[in-house]
Structures are given as structure tokens and as C-alpha cells.
Amino acid sequence: MIGFIGGLGRETLSRLMALGSSGVFLFHSIVALPVPRTGFPLLIRQLYSVGVLSLVIIIVSGLFIGMVLSLQGYSILADYGSEQAVGQMVALSLVRELSPVVTALLFAGRAGSALTAEIGLMKATEQLASMEMIGIDPLRRIVAPRFWAGFISLPILSMIFSVVGIWGGMLVGVDWLGIYEGSFWANMQASVEFGDDVLNGIIKAVAFGFVVTWIAVFQGYDCIPTSEGISKATTKTVVYSSLAVLGLDFLLTALMFGDL
Amino acid sequence: MRMRTLELGVGAFMLAGVIALVVLVVNVSGLSLSAPKESYTVYALFENAGGLTERSKVSMSGVLIGQVASITIDKEALKARVEMKINKGVDYLTYDSSAAILTAGLLGEKYIGISVGADEEMLADGDYIDDTQSALVLEELIGKFLFNKVNE
């Protein structure tokens, strides 16, 4: 019994310590904003591997999600004779919810896990420690560019996801199912507000980008430097960031659309 | 050489982001980039403003001429007082114009339709439209219909 309580206390303390050290870590990597000349090439390299290389999966998923939304929406709305509202439905659900959330989930799987594994392996092969030995701050050199790259990429990817998804929805709705194109767009434009819908979606994407990359780089930096430790850290990245994104999405939605 | 392709790729990525934002703004949300139009305020009292919301459209013959600014209860008349912002260029609303709360389509949103009368005098800032027609409430409609059936 005593052992159980002691274990509970130890567990809580270690969780609290992890939270604290990740907070300190976050602060350091934000402060280490890439400076021009030395930092920008590093940032661009990371933007390429985190953002540009994620484009394919984002575009393909966006296209298919938009198409599926349009199909499903049509089959339900046609029962009420209001199939012109498909455009409105596809655009609102993509812009408000699906594109930030799905992009963040895909991003955690595609880029977040890679970040964790890369930093984790650097730690396991003692590259980070040797950097510190020769007087280079690994936070500034390795972690900060990756953090900023993820933070910048996710909102851009999310916007691209929305646009491609809406285009996919139009492809199915207008060209295939024969909804009149004019009412498809007119309904969409009448119901989507810039401030309420588009901007809130972007704010969500920014928040998710922050959380997902934070978790990814911290898990890599904090992992146990063995092959098993890296694999655990990578799994944790995907699990934690997916849960964090979904939970945060509920909170943000309640704040933005819940009339609180 | 390697660095150049990187920079090109990242540049194209950023550009795609900006284009996506522009498409979202202009094409999807239909935001007009022009500054908010100057307007003047006209009020109308309705028995029932059900379904009307702030920023609902105010239209005349189907053409957008303004929007609803606020909906409050008028304490003296105990009716819904709707404040409408009418675009400045619209200076041909006569004093005896009438305002009706209409529905766009069967399940669509509510909007205010204004029809112009024959008076010489025009509505000015702060005036009230006297002739109003309330929102159609389905329950009342059914109630009236049943009542008529019983009378027959």
C-alpha cells in the first residue's frame, strides 16, 4: 500500500518534471529564433523537408476528403431537394474543422515522427553532446529551425488542404453529380464568412502547428538514447500529438463557435 | 546547386500558401476587398423578427442595398426594433416604403425585403419604416389554417 502511494507520487513528480522541462525547452527554442545569415539556410532546409515534402500527402488526402464529403453530402441533401447546399457544406466543414485537424494528424504522422526520430538518433549517436562540446548550442542549431519550420508549415498546408478539398468537392458535385455550378459557389460564398470561418480555421492550424512540433522535437530531444528509446519516443509523438490535436480542437471550437 | 532547389521548393511552397489564402478569401468566403460602404440608418418595428439575425441582408427587388445592424426590443411599442444600415447611394426609399421579413428559398435564411411606395418624401437617417410585415412563423400559419377550417 505504501509502495503504491510512493509509486503514485514518483509518477506524478516525474510527469510534472517532464512538463516543466518541456516548457523550458519550448522557451529556449522559441527564443532561438533563426537569425538571418546563419539561421535562414537551416530554416529553409527544414521547411523543405517538413513542409514541401508533406505536400503530396496533404494534396492527395485533401482531394479525396473533399470528394467524399461532396458525395456523402449530396446523397443526404438530395433527399431534401437542396443539393445546391453541397458547396456550403463541403466548404464549411473543410475550412472550420477538417482541414486543420486532418492536416495536423497527417503532419504528426508524416513530419512529426521524422523530426523525433532524427533528433533522437542525433542524441543516441551523441552528435548533440559533441556539438555542445565544441560550443554550438544544439537547441539553436538543431531544434529551433525544426520547431519554426513545423510552426510555419502547418497553417500553409492546412490552407492548401482546404483549397484542394473544395476543388475536389466541386469536381464530384458539379462535374459528376450535376449540381448547378453557379448555386454551388453562390451558396458557399453566402455562408462562409472570412472572419468567422476562414480565419478561425487558420488560427486552429497555427495552434496545432505549435503543439505538434513542440511535442515532436521535445520527444526527440528527451528520448532515451537507445534504439528502443527512439522507437518509443516516435510512437509517443504520434499518439500524444494526435490526442492533443483532437482535445485542443474541441476547446478551440467551443471558444470560437460555442457562443461562450 | 542543392541549396538552390531547396530555396526554389520552399519559395514555391510559400507561394502556394499565399495563393491558397487568396482563393479562400476571395472565392470561398466571397469577401469583397472594398472598404465598408458608407451608410445611413433606418429603423423598422416588427411584431415578430424571428429568424432574422445581425448582418442579414436588406434587399430591394432582390438587389442587396444594406444589412441589419442590430435587433432589439423597443420598450414603448414592445415590438422588435430592427436597425438597418442602408448604403449611402440608395436615396430613393420613399417615406411610405414597406419592409417585410422574407425567406430565401424553403429552408433559407431570413432577409428584409423593402418595397418602395409613391410618397414624394424620402427616408432619411434615423427614420422609421411604418409599414412592416413580420416573419412568417410556421406554427402561427398552421394555427390560422386550422382555425379557418373549423369556421367552415
Q: Evaluate if residue A260 carries a pLDDT over 60.
A: no
Q: Please give the C-alpha separations between residue A233 and each of A106, A168, B13, in angstroms, as whole numbers.
A: 17, 36, 29
CB A89 within 8 A of CB A77: yes
* Distant-in-sequence, close-in-space partners of B151: CB < 8 Å, separation ≥ 6: none
ipTM greater than 0.90: no
For chain A, the C-alpha Rg in angstroms (whole number) is 22
* Distant-in-sequence, close-in-space partners of A133: CB < 8 Å, separation ≥ 6: none
Mean pLDDT across A29-55: 80
B109: which DSSP letter? -
Pick from A11-15, A90-94, A108-112, A247-251: least confident: A11-15
Mean pLDDT across A122-133: 90
Beta bridge mates, B94: B122
Contact check, Cβ <8 Å, A82/B25: no
Mean pLDDT across A208-233: 91
**CA B137 – CA B132 distance, rounded (Å):** 15
C-alpha cell at A160: 492548401
Residue B30: the pLDDT is: 67
Q: Evaluate if residue B21 carries a pLDDT over 60.
A: yes
**CA A115 – CA A118 distance, rounded (Å):** 5
| A242-256, B36-50, B109-123: range with highest mean pLDDT | A242-256
Which residues of chain B neighbour A202 with C-beta distances below 8 Å? 21
Q: Please give the C-alpha separations between residue A88 and each of A44, A101, B74, B103, B144, in angstroms, as whole numbers.
A: 37, 19, 35, 18, 35
B46 Ramachandran zone, left/alpha/beta (phi>0; psi -120 to 50): beta
- Burial label for A112, CB within 10 Å (0-12, 13-18, 19+), is buried
Q: Which one of B6, B28, B53 would you mutate to disrupt binding with A, by most A Cβ within 10 Å of its Cβ?
A: B28
Mean pLDDT across B42-53: 84
Q: Please give the C-alpha separations between residue B49 and each of B41, B86, B115, B134, in angstroms, as whole numbers.
A: 18, 18, 18, 6
**If pLDDT is split at 50, 70 and 90, which confidence band does A33 have?**
low
**CA B10 – CA B7 distance, rounded (Å):** 5
**B136/chain A closest Cα distance in angstroms:** 21
Q: Please give the C-alpha separations between residue A39 and each of A35, A142, A234, B140, in angstroms, as whole numbers.
A: 5, 10, 26, 69
Q: What angle do CA A104, A109, A111 make, to 5 degrees?
A: 80
Residue B10: the pLDDT is: 86
Which residues of chain A neighbour B12 with C-beta distances below 8 Å? 52
B47: which DSSP letter? S
C-alpha cell at B78: 414592445
Mean residue pLDDT of chain B comes to 82
Mean residue pLDDT of chain A comes to 88
B116: which DSSP letter? -
DSSP3 helix / strand / coil % (chain B, rounded to 5): 25, 35, 40
- pLDDT tens for each residue of B98-152: 898 888 766 667 888 888 888 888 888 888 888 888 877 778 788 888 888 887 7
Contact check, Cβ <8 Å, B24/A44: no
Task: Give the CA dihedral A78, A79, A81, A86, nearest 10 degrees.
Answer: -40
**If pLDDT is split at 50, 70 and 90, which confidence band does B35 have?**
low
Residue A36: the pLDDT is: 64
Buried b (16+ CB within 10 A) or exposed e, A198-224: bbbbbebbbbbbbbbbbbbbbbbbbbe
Minimal Cα distance from A158: which residue of B? B17
Which residues of chain B neighbour A51 with C-beta distances below 8 Å? 10, 13
| Percentage of chain B exceeding pLDDT 90 | 1
SS3 of A137, please?
Answer: coil
| Percentage of chain A exceeding pLDDT 90 | 45
Residue A43: the pLDDT is: 85
Q: Evaluate if residue A203 carries a pLDDT over 90.
A: yes
Contact check, Cβ <8 Å, B24/A155: no
Phi, psi of A77 (to 5 degrees): -70, -30
Contact check, Cβ <8 Å, B20/A44: no
**If pLDDT is split at 50, 70 and 90, which confidence band does B32 have?**
low
Mean pLDDT across A81-92: 86
**CA A119 – CA A125 distance, rounded (Å):** 10
